[in-house]
């Protein structure tokens, strides 16, 4: 494809740094009757069939590219924000689960404590009752001895 002063050619979008041949691109000023004083990029070899682009087109492409980048950054920022919110809600959920586990642990500790008290009360009662039984048996035995003694 040969370049003309009507259309851009060679290189990618935006402000070109190098021509396809590897030489740098330089800004020249048009001296044609159609575009007097209009700046354009051209290969340093000054061969029009290598590279040609109007400076305003290159700047416009650059701005469009920046707009795309900015939109991409914005969408990535939104995505990140969403991820952050999700993580935050997951942390809250985790905190709730930990709270439940701790509450259950407290409850089981209380239950164990209650059970220990009940066991102590039961054994104390059983001990007291066995003493009473022994006492009564001893007393009955003594009473019989007394009866027999008569
Ligand atoms: Zn070139």
Percent of the chain past pLDDT 70, that is, above it, reads 89
Burial label for 44, CB within 10 Å (0-12, 13-18, 19+), is middle
CB atoms within 10 A of CB 54: 18
Q: Residue 125 Cα, ligand 1 centroid: separation in angstroms?
A: 107
Q: Residue 37 Cα, ligand 1 centroid: separation in angstroms?
A: 22
Query: Which pLDDT does position 14 carry in this prediction?
Result: 86
Over residues 91-123, the pLDDT tens digits come to 999 999 999 999 999 999 999 999 999 999 999
Sheet holding 39-43, edge to edge: 25-29, 39-43, 52-54
pLDDT tier at 46 (50, 70, 90 boundaries)? confident
Q: Residue 134 Cα, ligand 1 centroid: separation in angstroms?
A: 119
Point out the least confidently predicted range of 13-17, 57-61, 142-146.
142-146
Q: Residue 20 Cα, ligand 1 centroid: separation in angstroms?
A: 6
Query: Which pLDDT does position 147 carry in this prediction?
Result: 64
* pLDDT, mean of residues 24-40: 94
Query: Which pLDDT does position 117 carry in this prediction?
Result: 97
Q: Residue 56 Cα, ligand 1 centroid: separation in angstroms?
A: 20
Is the alpha carbon torsion for 30, 4, 14, 72 positive or negative?
positive
Please identify which residue in the block is written with the tokens 């008290």.
117
Q: Residue 12 Cα, ligand 1 centroid: separation in angstroms?
A: 14
Query: Which pLDDT does position 99 carry in this prediction?
Result: 96
Q: Residue 65 Cα, ligand 1 centroid: separation in angstroms?
A: 24
Nearest to 45 by CA among 84, 89, 10: 10
The per-residue b/e assignment along 79-93, b for 16 or more CB within 10 angstroms, e otherwise, is: eeeeeeeeeeeeeee
Q: Residue 40 Cα, ligand 1 centroid: separation in angstroms?
A: 14
* pLDDT, mean of residues 48-75: 92
Percent of the chain past pLDDT 90, that is, above it, reads 69
Measure the CA–CA gap between 15 and 30, rounded to whole angstroms: 17
């Amino acid at each position: 494809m040969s370049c003309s002063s009507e259309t851009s050619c060679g290189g990618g979008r935006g402000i070109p740094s190098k021509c396809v041949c590897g030489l740098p691109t330089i800004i020249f000023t048009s001296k044609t009757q159609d575009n007097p004083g209009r700046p354009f990029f051209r290969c340093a070899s000054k061969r029009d069939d290598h590279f040609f682009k109007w400076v305003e087109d290159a700047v416009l492409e650059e701005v469009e590219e920046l707009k795309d980048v900015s939109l991409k950054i914005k969408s990535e920022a939104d995505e990140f924000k969403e991820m952050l919110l999700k993580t935050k809600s997951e942390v809250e959920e985790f905190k709730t689960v930990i709270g439940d586990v701790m509450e259950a642990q407290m409850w089981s500790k209380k239950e164990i404590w209650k059970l220990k008290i009940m066991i102590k009360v039961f054994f104390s009662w059983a001990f007291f009752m066995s003493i009473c039984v022994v006492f009564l048996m001893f007393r009955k035995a003594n009473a019989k001895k007394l009866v027999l003694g008569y």
